[in-house]
Structure 1
Amino acid sequence: MVRVLVGNDWSEELEEPAGSGWAVQRLVWFARDGDLLVLPVHPEDEFLDYVTSMTGVRRASLRVIVPPPGRLGTGALTADRLADARFLDELRAAVDGRPVDEVFALWPDAVVAELAGALGCTAALEGHGFLSQGGGLLASSKAVFRALAAGVGAPIPDGAVCSDAVRAELHIDRVLGDGGSVILKQDYGSGSDGNEIVSRTPDVPLRGARRLRVVADRAALREYLAERWDWLSVGGRDRVIVERYHPGSRAYFAEFWISDGGVRLGGHGEMRYRPLPEAQVMPATGLDERQLDTLVEGGRRISEGLGALGYRGILSADAVVTPAGEVLFTEYNGRATGSTHIYEIVGKRVVGAGFGTDRVLLERVWPQGWTVPSFADALRRLRESGDVYDPATRRGVVILAAYHPGRKGVMLCFVDENLEAATRREQLVGRLFT
């Protein structure tokens, strides 16, 4: 038996993937003995050695297969690369007649279903029929999310899904008229890049959006929408989400694994913004029992609803907790997220017993001013300072991702007995990278 792991990220149907292939190398964390890994570029040997030493996987048992460059070069696993005849021959030879028992992909794209078909192992990809018809896109649509969440009774913020600027204007003006503010979202935007906040006054704190636009009256709102509608709707292709914005809220997620056997909770955590995503804490902190129950049970209902349509894979249900203590679901992400390998592998496999009870994980997203010349150098500094993760004490720093040449850095996870201790360690480690 053999597993085929595919390091794709995002869909060409939405936009052209970009990057140097560094982010999808987190796929290595999911590897088990004997797996075949399909990646856009070959990982650095130091990164492969490091991750497999942490997970206990035999490095020599893994095989990494990189397709020839495609129409965008080598930065992403585009459809033409996954359909390349030379690549498919190499992958079939690596399978060597063994039954494929699982096809695992970071992103649930139709091209993965086509790859499974080309290998003759569609049964190894749960939800193959759904994915083959582009169903994976439904799991990243904020418009579909709102309809599904409302349908299963999960609480969502006041708002609407709008196909034209006239309808959007009505709903925005209604919220602004009662003293509220609004966050506008592109249907498929990610990482807060597709969000903007609209308010009557400039004193609204930013969270989860790149900018705030002040509109003094209905005429100014109409002018704003005329200016920004093309961007919000991606040239008229998508609907736009109008959502009441709750200043001072905290952001959380509950992530589920949806399979033919049902829905299981994978993990949960807190997402911190300033004003864009800057950190994650796992498991979720600062919630009372009722709030945590609402987060988990609401996320489960949403996952069961999407699973009933045929989706199989990972689904992260995102929510905010308002200053009044209300839990409101805001979107979902159907893919292996930037949280999945942290709680599922680093937390459950590397830290093991005690994760979530006497150990917490703090991931910091690209601290400003932190730089390092290479992955190997980052690991050396952590070892020399004594901060590298120690399995004996179950404390220290885990390097989560491959080296990012553009940012000149690596992503780190701080493991300690509580959030305060993890934050103190982060501050000390920061001196190694500035």
Structure 2
Amino acid sequence: MDRPGLQVLYANLVSDLAVDLEQREVLGAWAEQATREVWLLRSGDVLVTPVPVGEAFLAYACALTGVPRASVTVITLPDGFVSAGDRGAYRAAVEAVREAAAGRPVAAVLPTALDDAAVGLARGLGATVAPYASAAAAEAALDVTHLLNTKAGFRSTAQALGMRLPDGRVCRRAEVAGVVGELLASHERVVVKPDRSAGGHGLLFLSSAGGPWDAGTLAPVGGTEGLWVVEEEIDVARSVSVQLETGGEGPKPLFSGEMRTVGGSFTGYLSPLPAAVARFAPELEAWGRALGGFLTERGYAGPFGVDAMVSADGVLYAGESNVRRTATTTPQAMVARLAGPGDPTWATGRLRASAPYSFEEAVDRLHILRIAFDPARGEGIVLYSGAPADGVTWRYAVIADDRDSLERYEELLRSTWTTAS
């Protein structure tokens, strides 16, 4: 190993940074994606996850990354996550990691999101939170992390940093109806967003032609004191993002790309930015650097991203920030690890197979079709998130030298696996 102790990968997708913890159904769906964190494992590491990781998938990922399967341990949390106020859950998680470590020192906890639970886990293990020098330094960054993982916090910060935003207001729940009326007087459509929301959860789209509207249809989160954002609904032609990391030396762009969405919900990603939207890269990166400077000044270190929208008339608008490892961060790290040096084209997506498959059957089908990722060629299809709960809705990644090759891989996958994408 090239570090003085093992690393604990804490797949805390179930975190109050993203959405209110009372939204258990939503959190459960997100938790299923925690399995993708296996691509970050190095020899000796421990993965703490809210959902089980299938043995076939773990062996598959280890074979592609070259990590001996027997050298890594996966711990599944019995209740799905460690609540910031649940001392019993902390003790159980800490003891499970210590047992897995078998006396070896724990160097750091690498969380999906920097939250109170991640800091608490690191303190219990006598470790730091990567990439911070200490758990205390990570704890000092919690305020800005919580701020910028909210819609209202991002909107106020983005305005101060000079980003272009849709016309909108931040308000309390009781004020939402009035603000909706004000904005619909000047805009044909508006979107109402809970302060803490991710993946399109809880968004409400309203139009001036829609008739009377009742605030009772808002998502049941936030209470009367919770914040909401009401904005004009942009006629979105494309959705794009830039992902960066920051620390002592300031922000550094990592990659950018186009988000694949259905009904406003994220379904996949394509990187680098396609030619049709590549001209927005400088402005998008400038916004990311500005936000990274804001984060760095307040002690944050690690990954973050800015999501943006390209309107039908060709204007770029900032949408939100994600100050955590996102649905694109780990796949990109996987791509860099598998493809090696260079700048490959890659994408993630989702498809519904025409019949349920076990994980082993799904991998066999990729090999039969000769589209499975081939380390010798550095391209192909990777089933990066394991077997789906329903057996048919698969998440995949495709790595290729260029867009044409990538599209060929995806077309062959879809045409031979699916009845509908």
Of 399, 413, 417, the match for 1:429: 413
What corresponds to 2:387 in structure 1? 403
1:4-42, Cα deviation, whole Å (9 max, x unpaired)? 111221325821442595321111111122212222344
What's the RMSD between the two structures over aligned residues?
2.7
Residue 94 of structure 2, aligned match among 68, 88, 104: 88
Is the alpha carbon distance of 1:179 and 1:118 closer, same or farther for their aligned partners in structure 2, counting shifts above 3 Å?
closer
**Are 2:90 and 2:120, in contact at CA under 8 Å, matched by a contact in 1?**
no
The structure 2 residue matched to 1:11, chosen from 15, 39, 55, is 15
Alpha-carbon distance in structure 2 between the residues aligned to 1:377 and 1:140: 39
Give the corresponding residue for 2:323. 334
Q: Matches of residues 3-402 of structure 1 in structure 2 within 5 Å?
A: 3-11=7-15, 14-15=20-21, 16=24, 17-19=27-29, 22-67=32-77, 69-70=78-79, 75-78=80-83, 80=86, 83-95=89-101, 98-122=104-128, 126=132, 128-129=135-136, 132=139, 135=143, 136-166=145-175, 168-201=176-209, 214-215=210-211, 220=212, 224-229=213-218, 231=219, 234-275=222-263, 276-287=265-276, 290-346=279-335, 348-355=336-343, 359-365=344-350, 367-368=351-352, 370-402=354-386
Amino acid at match of 2:241: F
Per the normalisation by structure 2, the TM-score is 0.86
Change (3 A) 1:82 1:342: farther
Q: Which residue identity lines up with residue 395 of structure 1 in the other structure? A: E
Contact 1:143 1:161 in 2 (8 A): yes
Q: Is the 8 A contact 1:8 1:107 kept in 2?
A: yes
What's the % identity of the aligned pairs? 28
Aligned length: 403
Distance in 2 (CA, whole Å) between partners of 1:56 and 1:257 is 26
TM-score, scaled relative to structure 1: 0.83
Instruction: Tell me how far 1:87 sits from its aligned partner.
Output: 4.1
- Provide the rounded CA distance (Å) in 2 between the counterparts of 1:128 and 1:84: 15
How far the C-alpha of 1:233 sits from its partner, in A, is 5.3
Structure 2 gaps of 5+ residues are none
Quick check: 1:18–1:76 contact (8 Å CA) kept in 2?
A: no
CA deviation string 1:345-381 (max 9, x = no partner): 21x22123333xxx4212213x245543211111011
Change (3 A) 1:89 1:200: closer
**Is contact 1:389–1:397 with CA below 8 Å preserved after alignment?**
yes
Q: Cα 1:84–1:170, aligned 2, differ >3 Å: closer, same or farther?
A: closer
Question: Counterpart of 1:410 in 2: which secondary structure?
Answer: strand
Cα contact 1:372–1:378 (8 A) shared by 2? no
Partner Cα separation in structure 1 for residue 40 and residue 397 of structure 2: 17
Deviations 1:250-275 (A, max 9, x none): 10111122334432222211012232
Structure 1: unaligned runs, 5 residues or longer: 202-213
What residue is the counterpart of 1:419 in the other structure?
403
